[in-house]
Amino acid sequence: MTPPTLAPPRPAAQQPDWPDRTALRAAATALSHRAPLVRPEECDRLRGLLAGAAAGHGFLVQGGDCAETFADTAPGPVRAKTALLAETAALIESALRLPVTVIGRMAGQFAKPRSRPTELVDGVSLPVYRGDMVNGSEPTPVSRRPDPARLLRAYDHAREAVLTAREGSGREVFTSHEALILEYEDALARRDAASGATYGLSGHYLWLGERTRQYEGAHVEFAAGVANPVGVKLGPTAEPDDVLALAARIDPDRVPGRLSFITRMGSDKVRDLMPVLVEKARAEGVEALWVCDPMHGNTYTAANGLKTRRYDDVLDEVRGFFEVHRELGTWPGGLHLEFSPDAVTECVGGPGPATEADLTERYTSTCDPRLNRAQTLALAGAVAELFTGFPAGPADGGLRTA
Ligand code: PEP
Ligand code: CO
């Protein structure tokens, strides 16, 4: 059970500029002695469920905060999120009549890739907030300083969330986050004595973001080295060759359920850009699970300076995703959302804030704007409708009773 080497030999994008490397190494070593947060058997079971979804026998609902905070891991918030995930899944399941697997963006979603390393706050340049695993969101020089002790706090908070998520809401909830901070991920990666395989035991499902999916980069190397089910985000710049190369590198043995592609194209691009990716992957025999993230391609800045998304754009990207799969005869395998179970006012439209001016009422996200509870359930209802009348999956051996 020794963790692999800590120093990533390949270039790692989006890593904090840790001011104290000695403290970073000490934190990583301490972390490598902690108990894993999840078990290899659980990761394998999830992989089996995702294999079913990829083959057209099910669906994935994945969701939670953009940036989970340490405060979000208290039992109350975790229960509220798992309950909303379960409600969302139940709505879709009742229309689909196939099993829906649920994964929370929680218990480790504490680190964020950012478009710029610094920001100006009242004329002062500060390091950007990179998530509670790295620094504080409060805009002061002290709070924004990357602090390696936060890796250990992240572990403790993730553990608290895992324990609550395990209590169950009647439906099993797996955990996931973006595998971003490599010291954290490497320290919690362990070789499983039973199988000889290495697992990233910081969460059941780990994904690579749009900004860390470089073929030659350290994050892809990490994903290739663990046996968990893993996802890769695909934005509008993704080329068919990127998809094929990533599949060959991360999942050379084509293990069913191992690889998902999470597309986040934007509502205006999904119908144009996604088909060639799905088609080329299929032509090469890549049987990935295709998941729709209708959030990250639809972000814009409102007139009042708040980052937001239009509910209608989110819904339209989901519709486009289903249209593409219907045309190609492939299976729309899942939905990846940023949501809050609270009545937040972060995304505009649908059963949420009517205008951009209403966004200031209850905007609590420390990063991207989330759908609120009503918007999430409305979207789930729309997905349920899209499945009513959707042809059965390509490999659906008559399991669906619709
Ligand atoms: C995210 O999921 O919060 C995120 C940063 O997404 P992406 O990598 O797709 O931009
Ligand atoms: Co986000």
Q: Looking at the CA of 367, name the nearest ligand.
A: 2
How far apart (Å, rounded) are the C-alpha atoms in residues 287 and 302? Answer: 39
Q: At what angle do helices 373-387 and 311-328 cross, to 10 degrees?
A: 20
Q: Is 105 in the pocket of ligand 1 (CB under 6 A)?
A: no
Distance, CA of 76 to CA of 73 (rounded, Å): 8
Secondary structure class of 339 (helix, strand, coil): strand
CA of 268 to the centre of ligand 2 (A): 19
Question: What is the predicted pLDDT for the residue at 397?
Answer: 42
d(CA 28, CA 17): 16
pLDDT at residue 402, rounded to an integer: 37
Q: Whose alpha carbon is nearest atom 3 of ligand 1? A: 66
Nearest to 34 by CA among 198, 188, 200: 188
Amino acid at 359: L
| pLDDT at residue 396, as a whole number | 46
Please count the other Cβ atoms lying within 10 Å of the Cβ belonging to residue 137.
15
Any bridge partners for residue 289, and if so which?
260
Can you list the residues of the chain whose pLDDT is less than 50?
A: 395-402
The pLDDT, as a whole number, for residue 391 is 83
154 token code pair = 């992240």
Residues near 3 by beta carbon (within 8 Å), at least 6 away in sequence: 32, 186, 187, 188, 189, 190
Q: Which residue's CA is the nearest one to ligand 1's atom 8?
A: 209
The closest of 333, 332, 361 to 346, measured between CA atoms, is 361
**Which protein residue's CA is at the shortest distance from atom 9 of ligand 1?**
210
| Confidence at residue 234, expressed as pLDDT on a 0 to 100 scale | 99
Distances, alpha carbon 213 to alpha carbons 106, 155, 232, 233, 259, in Å: 21, 24, 7, 8, 13
The dihedral formed by the CA atoms of 4, 12, 132 and 356, expressed in degrees to the nearest 10: -150
Q: How far is CA 203 from CA 16, 105, 188, in A?
A: 21, 10, 9
344: left (phi over 0), alpha (psi -120 to 50) or beta: beta
The residue among 202, 191, 213, 189 whose CA lies nearest residue 133 is 202
What pLDDT, in 10s, does the model give residues 10-47?
A: 999 999 999 999 999 999 999 999 999 999 999 999 99
**pLDDT at residue number 28:** 98
Distance 14 CA to ligand 1 centre (A): 12
pLDDT of residue 2: 55
Q: For residue 262, how far is its CA from the centre of ligand 1 (angstroms)? A: 10
What tokens were used for 84? 């909303």
* Protein residue whose Cα sits closest to atom 4 of ligand 1: 209
What are the Cα distances from residue 183, in Å, to 73, 108, 109, 111, 189?
A: 21, 13, 15, 12, 10
Structure tokens at 270: 């999904």
Convert 238-259 into a string of H (helix), E (strand) and C (coil): CCHHHHHHHHHHHCCCCCCCCE
Q: Which amino acid is at 375?
A: Q
Separation between Cα atoms, residue 381 and residue 379, nearest integer Å: 5
Q: Is 114:135 a contact under the CB 8 Å cutoff?
A: no
66 in contact with ligand 1, CB cutoff 6 A: yes
Q: Crossing angle of helices 373-387/75-96, nearest 10°? A: 20
Q: What are phi and psi of 218, to 5 degrees?
A: -70, -30
Ligand 1, atom nearest to 235 Cα? 9
Q: What pLDDT was estimated at residue 268?
A: 98
Sort residue 273 into left (φ over 0), alpha (ψ -120 to 50) or beta: alpha
